[in-house]
Amino acid sequence: MQWDNREMRAGPQDLILMPAGRELGVTNKPGALGNYIADTVTFSQELLSSFRARHGVEIHARLSHASSAELCVPLDRHTTDAWENLLACLTTDAPQALRTHYGEGVLLALSLAGYAGPLLIDRRDPLGARVQQLLMLDPAASWTVARVAEHLHLSASTLRRRLANESSSFSHILEQVRMGLALQWLQSTIRPIGEIAEACGYASASRFSVRFRQRYGLSPRALRAAQLLSI
C-alpha cells in the first residue's frame, strides 16, 4: 500500500482502511500458490453517521489517545471476531438490520483499539479535527500549511483563516498531535526517547526534550523516572 509518502505491506492479519476521497496505491502480490484473496466491505455514509452519533463521546476519547491513524491496522482478537461475524452475515443474505448491527460491531472494535479515526472523519467535522486526524497519519512528516491545505482541498490562506475562526492554528494542532503521541509512547512503551522524538517529527532528542518540558513541566527522562518510582 502507498499513500502520501508512506508505504506499508499488508498481510493476512491486517485490515486496510480506505476512507472516502483518499488516494491509495495498492500493489497485489499473490502467495506461493498464485492466489490473492481479499474480502472487501463498504460502509455507507448513513451507517457511519449513525455510528458516530451513537458512540461519539467514546470515539473522541479513544481518538485523543490513539497511537496513530494508520490505514493498515492489525486484526486483534475483538476486531477479528467482529469482522468474521460481519462476513458470515453478508454471505448468508441476512436481514439488513443484522448487517448494520455487525457492521457497527467492526467499527466499534476498531474504535476501541484506536484505529477507526480515518473512517470516521466527516466533512462536517470542525476543520481542526480533520487537520488533527490528517497529521496523525504521519506525525513525523514535514507538514506545512500548504501541504495540509492541499490534502483538504483548500488554499493555505483559507486553512489559516478557518482555523483562526475556531480559535486554533496549524502550529498549535501539529504540536498537540506530536506531544500527545509522545506522552502516550513514553507512558505505555519502552521505546528509547530518541526514537520517540524522531517518530514525532523532532530533528533531535534535545529539541524534543525542551518542547516536552515546556508543555508538561518535566523532561521525558524525568517522566519515565517518576513512572518507575510509582510502580
Q: How confident is the model over 12-60, as pLDDT tens digits?
A: 888 888 877 667 788 887 767 777 778 889 888 788 878 876 776 556 5
Residue where a domain stops, chosen among 95, 120, 145: 120
Instruction: Name the band, by pLDDT with cuts 50, 70 and 90, for residue 119.
Output: confident
Q: What is the pLDDT of residue 213?
A: 94
Are 8 and 108 in the same domain? yes
Domain that holds residue 168: 127-230
Same domain, 33 and 99: yes
**Residue 137 and residue 104 in one domain:** no
Residues 96 and 141 in one domain: no
pTM above 0.85, yes or no: no
- Tell me what pLDDT residue 64 has: 46
pLDDT score, position 118: 76
Q: Are residues 113 and 11 in the same domain?
A: yes
Last residue of a domain, one of 100, 120, 140: 120
CB atoms within 10 A of CB 95: 9
Whole-number pLDDT of residue 157: 94
In a shared domain, residues 194 and 168 = yes
Q: Can you give the C-alpha Rg of the chain in angstroms? A: 19
- Residue 228, C-beta contacts closer than 8 angstroms, at least 6 positions apart: none
Q: Which residue has the cell 471476531?
A: 81
What integer pLDDT is reported at residue 67 of this predicted model?
46
Domain count, the chain: 2
- Is residue 137 located within the same domain as residue 185? yes
Better-predicted residue by pLDDT, 140 or 164: 164
- Would you tell me how many other CB atoms lie within 10 Å of the CB of residue 104? 20
On average, the pLDDT of the chain sits at 83
